[in-house]
Amino acid sequence: MNTKTRTLAYRARPIPPAALRELRATDDAGRPCAPFTDEEGGAPLRCCLRLSEPGERIALVSYAPLRRWAAETWAKPGAYDEQGPVFICERCDGPGGEAQSYPFARAGALRTVRRYDAEGRIVGGRLLEIPEDTTAGYEAAFAEAFADPEVALVHVRALEYGCFHFEVHRA
């Protein structure tokens, strides 16, 4: 099946617009946002789920995705609340249109698919080496995660740096 025409069973969620407005002022570590010109391009932007273009204005900010999700759901992640670096555009309105594939999917790349329960506690996870059919690889990993009724939320992170890539909620 052609991955360009598939309907995705799960939706990769970018950083929400309200959080972006806050991060563009002060990040989740309390530091002011400091945009710069990305001369080379290729930075994974978590606001619009695409790679940056050469010459684009972006920022590297500290983001606490579980903390922000917990604030909306009244979960209490405790020690599982972590923050880390993410790239965001200086300005954008989020992803355009309906996604046809999962972002930052490169065959052979290693990702962690970390599972959280409704309280924000880790209830498992797995290593995913993204296969040639990147969409099928992610779909299988998400189906496996959500087969556990305790799983409310999944975070996808890069194994190399631990960077948050995107989250997927139970449908």
Evaluate if residue 88 carries a pLDDT over 90.
Answer: yes
Band of pLDDT at residue 1, cut at 50, 70 and 90: very low
Residue 116, C-beta contacts closer than 8 angstroms, at least 6 positions apart: 66, 77, 80, 122, 123, 151, 152, 153, 154, 155
Per residue in 13-37, pLDDT tens?
999 999 999 999 999 999 999 999 9
For tokens 């972590």, the residue is 82
Q: Check: CB of residue 124 under 8 Å from CB of residue 148.
A: yes
Sheet-wide strand order for 110-116: 122-129, 110-116, 153-158, 164-169
pLDDT of 3 reads 45
pLDDT of 91 reads 87
pLDDT of 79 reads 87
- CB atoms < 10 A from the CB of 30, how many? 7
DSSP class of 103: T
65-87 average pLDDT score: 90
